[in-house]
Amino acid sequence: MDDFSDFRSAMGDVKPLKVDKRVDLKKNQQDSLSIQERRLAATKEDVKEVNYLSDDYVEMVKPYDVLAYKKTGLQEGVYRKFRLGKYTTDARLDLHKRTVDQARREVFEFIEDAMKYDLRNLIILHGKGEAEETPALLKSWINKWLPQFDDVLAYHSAQQHHGGTGAVYVMLKKSESSKEKTREQHNSKTGFQNHKT
């Protein structure tokens, strides 16, 4: 017999020792955390990509300029009442002390949320920025961003008691469910019943 055969026969019934791992890496847990982090990052990127508000160039307005915008089709009487602050404000967004990037994100989310919850009349406090290095910076961007929303019917600088030229009223389109409620209310007042066959 050779040495290897002797060794093999001597070791025939020997079994390897079972050794516990010194460090439990919990690979599955690490993988799931890594996946969660990647998903969160991807979601943030998606939100960033969804935000279509431009951030390239803005035409500057002055701190005391009145902002005014009305889409075609909005009744003149409704617009007049709106710009005079006669409608109840459903929500407000205060942008004081925000950077342009922060304001861009917050305005986008604010309008999107307002549409989701069927809000119609909003107010955005952007300030005049008189003491800033670039006066009326946020005001200028607001003036550029608001017409970029399909759902914004009109906006106008607020009345003095609501912030004057440092704030803007925003009117949104009615959602389809709101339009249906209005039709139902109108029909019940006039006695007209909409029968579906």
CATH number at residue 133: 3.30.1370.110
Question: Residue 29 domain-assigned?
Answer: no
Which is more confidently placed, 120 or 196?
120
pLDDT at position 197, please?
A: 44
Question: Residue 4 domain-assigned?
Answer: no
Q: How many domains does the chain have?
A: 1
- pLDDT above 80 (res 47): no
Order of strands across the sheet with 121-125?
68-70, 152-157, 167-172, 121-125, 91-94
Per-residue pLDDT, averaged over 4-29, amounts to 64
Domain enclosing residue 85, as ranges? 68-180
Question: Residue 75 domain-assigned?
Answer: yes
Per-residue pLDDT, averaged over 164-188, amounts to 83
User: pTM here?
Assistant: 0.68
Question: What are the structure tokens assigned to 103, written together?
Answer: 């304001």
Where does the pLDDT of residue 37 fall: very low under 50, low under 70, confident under 90, or very high at 90 and above?
confident
Per-residue pLDDT, averaged over 81-95, amounts to 97
Percent of the chain with pLDDT over 90: 58
Question: Residue 87 domain-assigned?
Answer: yes
Question: Residue 98 domain-assigned?
Answer: yes
pLDDT at position 149, please?
A: 96
Distance (Å, whole) CA 144 – CA 132: 19
Question: Residue 111 domain-assigned?
Answer: yes
Question: What are the structure tokens assigned to 35, written together?
Answer: 């996946």
Cβ atoms of 189 and 154 closer than 8 Å: no
